[in-house]
């Protein structure tokens, strides 16, 4: 977006005597008090030189965090506790990528007031868009970091503060709190976009290092266009780790962030500290490094090598190992944070992003050649940070380590299978695209460098993009694009939705009294068979709960309500036919038995979720749910299929909650209050974009923001029976349950099945188990006898077939045309003949009704002379379709059973021709 330069001209700059200049390297404009400054003071326009500046020294990450918070608290900002790194309160984003994300879109759009105004927060963030550069740039890029943000929300009728105050705060913080000389602080003009918002910004750079970004969010981005926001937001991001690095006399951000943990990792990974002159040379030169430019990376190694008096090869090797060490420091912290906030690795959503980081860490570990479990490194991170700012890392440590070990085990198995797929693909294609590399990684877990290595052995060149993992992460929604899969519900026709939006909100009688069965209301509008009332007892489909059905009496006639939907706050009833009037009083009655079964099932799902979390762990999160009158399902995040014992325990706990007769409290409360009281666990079934939330609380068992109808006490559920548990996909487990009266119906259906089984095996229900056990033993014995008879018959057939052998240029050809009761006998004979006669080819002719199946197998010597796939190719013209391996093929011919003998002769002729040709060659 082209901006008027006046946007960046501030009274503060005029007062202090700042000059606007243009960077001689990148051409960007900046403001400075230094009359001799010619560059923007930012990488890659200048080398890092901040170590040479006067400044407050020796701040740890903890010190920098505390100093930032205390400064803004002194300047009237209220401290707000940080959010999780998983953006549970948003449906369009997986990870918390910035501090402002905590307030988007509900606060920035004006739906919900901020928890404080102005406020200060230090938010743990995860960004994967630069994951490929971690380690190489010695600290400029991290996947996990802390963002210090002070935010002000300016409403049309109330301005808190804007550009002038924001820049003054930054200048005072850096000069007074950090002791930086005033003429060393540069404000670089910039533009920022993220999370659907945008605005002009200043990047604060000192000594080559960007320490903060000051964004003045004033636009929303809609279809690539910028629309002014009603609320102007001060959105700042101070790099807490960068401030710590800036203050310390250490070469890299990893030294500043991790301290003694860096030394511990060195020992565990066997990475010796490189020469001091090499490390410091790399630290300074990294300021000019553009990791996206291969030529810049090459120049970087050349410069560092020259300064250290090493060859480029030596410098690259030493810095490569150092970068791998830094990568593992960074990634293991990110893994701990992701799993500590309850992510379950999977093939979709945030679970995919966690798996990506874990697998990249595993690959880095293997390339280093370190003989150590990834879980050992992750545990060190959890203990290091858990004692300070992230206590959940310690409380969830067992889960974190178990999942990391499980992922490492799965990755090894996946990799073995994946490399076989790579070989197959490379035999088909002589060039692999980026999409091919991403597919191989997504589907088979094979990293691109391993693909390139396998390809080189086959003479295929593969270009691996320098930002491969960032591309993969972006594809899976890590960059801030709309990502979450939101459960779709049936849509009304578009014209009906538009029509419905013109009505006032429907009074929700189904919430006011979910036990009511009849009601009266006023008819507001009719469009075909669609009806809108001013109030209704009919629950609309939503929150995974099916809609109500029943009758409506309008204009003296009764109509069936077939379906109920919600458009915003307006409820639309879909009737069995078009009403004869469009106004007047309406009377309605819901199908109460159906509604009550829905209520029981919905509350049962909440109870089941609470039980699953208690048995399986705090990482359990609702991944989907559905409630119908007949049954309910609950999909949860979990890393493996629960055992029978765990399932039984979950069911017992759920029923204990029913026996405890826990009261179900429902109240509408302010969103910020709800989040403070209950945390983000309330967003199990979605995130309502409303200032107030309808909270359903079942004692201390479960609490959720929920739109559905519920019973008043868990005792009303009656009972819960888990009827099925299955792995829906990697990282997601589905529970199916019945509750209340449906438990009795389920039991009755089981009794019917048991009676049927009893009548088949003989005797009554009580004897059914023993009789089935006896039948199972008899079946096992029968199978053993059949196996022995099959083997005996196969031996007899081998002798019989050998007597009819045809010799063709040294290759024996056997033909089996006998009709046998078991097709497996043909295959057993074929295997025996191939093993006993390596120079033989066996043809089995098998009739299947009117069709013909042919199995052809070759011994080891015969297979070298004749590739049976060539046989299949020649027989295709004779109506036989199929294929296989050089030593075994399967062919199928429709309607050829009557011509079996003739077809067998033709097959022998084809084989004879190929054998003869091979002999001549």
- What are the binding residues for Zn(2+)? 602, 606, 706, 710
Backbone angles phi, psi at 650, to 5 degrees: -60, -45
End-to-end CA distance of the chain: 72
Least Cα distance to 704 among 603, 614, 636, 626 occurs for: 603
Residues forming the annotated binding site? 602, 606, 706, 710
Place of tokens 């930054």: 170
Tally the residues of the chain.
921
Task: Give CA–CA dist 318/308, Å, rounded.
Answer: 12
Dist CA 739 CA 627 (whole Å):
11
Question: Tokens 């929300």 — which residue?
Answer: 153
Alpha helices, H only, 48-154: 61-74
299-to-295, 303, 315 alpha-carbon distances in Å: 6, 6, 12
Contact between residue 138 and residue 254 where contact means Cβ atoms under 8 Å apart: yes
* Burial (0-12, 13-18, 19+ Cβ within 10 Å), 813: buried
R_g of the chain, CA atoms, integer Å: 35
Q: How far apart are CA 631 and CA 626, in angstroms?
A: 9
Burial class (CB in 10 A: 0-12, 13-18, 19+), 869: middle
Q: Which residues contact 421 (CB under 8 A, 6 or more apart)?
A: 440, 443, 444, 446
Give the tokens for residue 751.
């009794």
Residues 6+ apart with CB under 8 A from 842: 801, 813, 814, 815, 816, 829, 830, 833, 834, 856, 857, 858
Beta bridge partners of 668: 694
Strand order in the sheet with 881-885: 806-808, 811-816, 840-848, 851-858, 888-893, 881-885
């Amino acid at each position: 977006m082209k901006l008027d330069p006046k946007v960046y001209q501030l009274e503060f700059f005029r007062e202090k005597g700042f000059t606007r200049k243009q960077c001689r390297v990148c051409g960007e404009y900046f403001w400075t008090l230094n009359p001799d400054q010619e560059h923007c003071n930012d990488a890659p326009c200048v080398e890092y030189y901040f170590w040479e500046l006067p400044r407050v020294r020796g701040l740890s990450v903890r010190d920098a965090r505390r100093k930032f918070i205390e400064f803004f608290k002194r300047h009237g900002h209220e401290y707000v506790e940080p959010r999780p790194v998983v953006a549970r309160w948003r449906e369009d984003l997986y990870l918390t990528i910035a501090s402002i994300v905590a307030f988007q879109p509900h606060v920035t759009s004006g739906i919900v007031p901020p928890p404080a105004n102005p406020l200060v927060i230090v938010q743990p963030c995860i960004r994967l868009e630069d994951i490929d550069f971690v380690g190489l740039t010695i600290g400029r890029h991290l996947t996990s970091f802390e963002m210090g943000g002070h935010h002000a929300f300016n409403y049309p009728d109330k301005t808190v503060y804007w550009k002038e105050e924001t820049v003054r705060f930054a200048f005072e913080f850096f000069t007074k709190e950090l002791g930086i000389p005033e003429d060393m602080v540069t404000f670089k003009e910039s533009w920022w976009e993220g999370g659907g918002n945008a605005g002009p910004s200043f990047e604060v750079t000192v000594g080559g290092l960007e320490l903060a970004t000051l964004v003045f969010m004033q636009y929303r981005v809609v279809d690539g266009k910028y629309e002014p926001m009603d609320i102007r937001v001060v959105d700042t991001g101070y790099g807490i780790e960068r401030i710590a690095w800036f203050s310390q006399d250490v070469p890299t951000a990893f030294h500043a962030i991790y301290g003694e943990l860096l030394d511990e990792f060195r020992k565990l990974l066997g990475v010796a500290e490189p020469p001091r002159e090499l490390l410091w040379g790399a630290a300074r030169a990294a300021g000019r490094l553009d990791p996206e430019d291969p030529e810049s990376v090459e120049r970087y190694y050349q410069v560092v090598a020259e300064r250290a008096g090493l060859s480029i090869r030596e410098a690259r090797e030493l810095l490569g190992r150092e970068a791998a060490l830094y990568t593992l420091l960074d990634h293991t912290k990110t893994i701990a944070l992701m799993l500590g906030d309850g992510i379950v690795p999977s093939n979709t959503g945030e679970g995919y992003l966690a798996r990506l980081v874990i697998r990249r860490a595993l690959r880095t570990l293997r390339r280093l050649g370190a003989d150590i479990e990834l879980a050992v490194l992750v545990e060190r991170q959890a203990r290091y940070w858990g004692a300070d700012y992230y206590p959940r890392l310690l409380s969830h440590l067992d889960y974190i380590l178990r999942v990391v070990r499980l992922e490492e085990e799965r990755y090894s198995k996946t990799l073995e299978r994946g490399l076989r797929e790579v070989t197959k693909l490379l035999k088909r294609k002589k060039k692999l695209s980026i999409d091919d590399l991403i597919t191989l990684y997504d589907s088979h877990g094979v990293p691109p460098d391993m693909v390139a290595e396998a390809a080189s052995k086959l003479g295929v060149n593969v270009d691996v993009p320098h930002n491969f993992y960032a591309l993969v992460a972006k594809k899976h929604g890590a960059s801030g694009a709309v990502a979450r899969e939101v459960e779709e519900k049936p849509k009304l026709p578009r014209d009906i939705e538009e029509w419905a939006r013109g009505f006032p909100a429907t009074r929700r009688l189904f919430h006011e009294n979910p036990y009511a069965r009849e009601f009266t209301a006023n008819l507001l509008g009719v469009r075909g068979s669609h009806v809108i009332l001013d109030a209704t007892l009919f629950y609309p489909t939503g929150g995974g709960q099916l809609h109500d059905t029943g009758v409506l009496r309008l204009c003296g006639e009764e109509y069936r309500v077939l379906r109920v939907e919600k458009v915003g706050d307006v409820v639309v009833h879909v009737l069995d036919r078009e009403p004869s009037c469009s106004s007047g009083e309406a009377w309605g009655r819901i199908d109460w038995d159906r509604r009550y079964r829905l209520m029981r099932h919905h509350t049962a799902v909440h109870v089941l979720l609470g039980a699953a979390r208690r048995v399986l762990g705090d990482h359990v999160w609702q991944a989907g749910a559905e409630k119908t009158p007949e049954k309910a399902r609950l999909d949860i995040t979990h890393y493996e299929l629960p055992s029978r014992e765990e399932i039984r325990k979950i069911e017992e706990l759920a029923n204990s909650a029913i026996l405890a007769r826990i009261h179900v409290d429902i109240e509408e409360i302010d969103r910020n209050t709800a989040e403070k009281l209950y945390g983000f666990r309330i967003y199990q079934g979605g995130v309502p974009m409303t200032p107030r939330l309808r909270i359903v609380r079942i004692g201390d068992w479960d609490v959720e923001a929920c739109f559905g109808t519920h019973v008043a006490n868990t005792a009303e559920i009656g009972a819960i029976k888990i009827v099925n548990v299955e792995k829906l996909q990697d990282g997601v487990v589905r529970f199916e349950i019945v509750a209340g009266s449906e438990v009795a119906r389920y039991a009755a259906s089981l009794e019917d099945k048991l009676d049927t089984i009893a009548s088949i095996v003989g005797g009554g229900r009580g004897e059914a188990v023993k009789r089935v056990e006896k039948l199972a033993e008899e079946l096992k014995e029968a199978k053993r006898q059949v196996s022995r008879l099959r083997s005996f018959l196969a031996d007899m057939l081998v002798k019989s077939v050998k007597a009819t052998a045809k010799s063709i240029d040294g290759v024996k050809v056997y033909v089996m045309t006998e009709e046998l009761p078991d097709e497996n006998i043909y295959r057993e004979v074929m295997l025996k003949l191939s093993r006993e006669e390596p120079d033989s080819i066996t043809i089995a002719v098998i009739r299947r009704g009117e069709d013909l199946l042919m199995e052809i197998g070759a011994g080891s010597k015969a297979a070298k002379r004749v590739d049976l796939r060539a046989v299949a190719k020649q027989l295709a013209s004779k109506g036989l379709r199929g294929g296989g391996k050089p030593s075994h093929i399967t062919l199928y011919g429709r309607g050829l059973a009557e011509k079996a003998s003739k077809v067998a002769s033709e097959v022998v002729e084809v084989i004879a021709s190929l054998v003869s040709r091979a002999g001549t060659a």
